[in-house]
């Protein structure tokens, strides 16, 4: 290999390294922006604690495994049964809503 080929190979390696570094910087910026966006969304939804709880339950229901979904459904069903029986127990969300 002559000097020109060695120089060309070294230049290609530097360019490739620079491109990899630039892509990593762009990826880092994208992740940072996504984190900021999610924090802003969480701040908006955290004004009302009840809404935050409902959002957590929705996430668990949509993204949870089968066991989690069954547990949430069972708790909700039992609370509704208590409400309808008049035991005074159960989750009555409409009492806590601001008017």
Q: Are residues 85 and 96 in the same domain?
A: yes
Return the pLDDT at 47.
Answer: 67
Q: Are residues 98 and 53 in the same domain?
A: yes
Q: Token pair for residue 85?
A: 């029986």
Return the pLDDT at 88.
Answer: 55
Nearest residue to 76 via CA among 56, 57, 49: 57
Tens of pLDDT, residue by residue over 30-44, are: 888 888 888 877 766
Q: Are residues 41 and 57 in the same domain?
A: no
Q: Are residues 41 and 55 in the same domain?
A: no
Return the pLDDT at 97.
Answer: 44
* Domains of the chain: total: 2
Mean per-residue pLDDT, 69-85: 82
Which structural domain range is residue 35 located in? 1-45
Residue 23 pLDDT > 50, yes or no?
Answer: yes
Q: Are residues 15 and 32 in the same domain?
A: yes
pTM of the model: 0.34
Q: Are residues 60 and 89 in the same domain?
A: yes
């Amino acid at each position: 290999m002559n000097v020109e080929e060695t120089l060309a190979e070294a230049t290609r390696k530097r360019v490739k390294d620079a491109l990899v570094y630039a892509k990593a910087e762009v990826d880092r910026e994208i992740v940072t922006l996504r984190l900021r966006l999610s924090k802003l969304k969480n701040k908006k939804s955290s004004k009302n604690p009840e809404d935050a709880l409902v959002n957590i339950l929705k996430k668990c229901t949509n993204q949870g495994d089968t066991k989690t979904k069954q547990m949430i459904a069972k708790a909700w069903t039992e609370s509704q049964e208590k409400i309808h029986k008049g035991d005074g127990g159960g989750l009555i969300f409409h009492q806590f809503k601001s008017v």
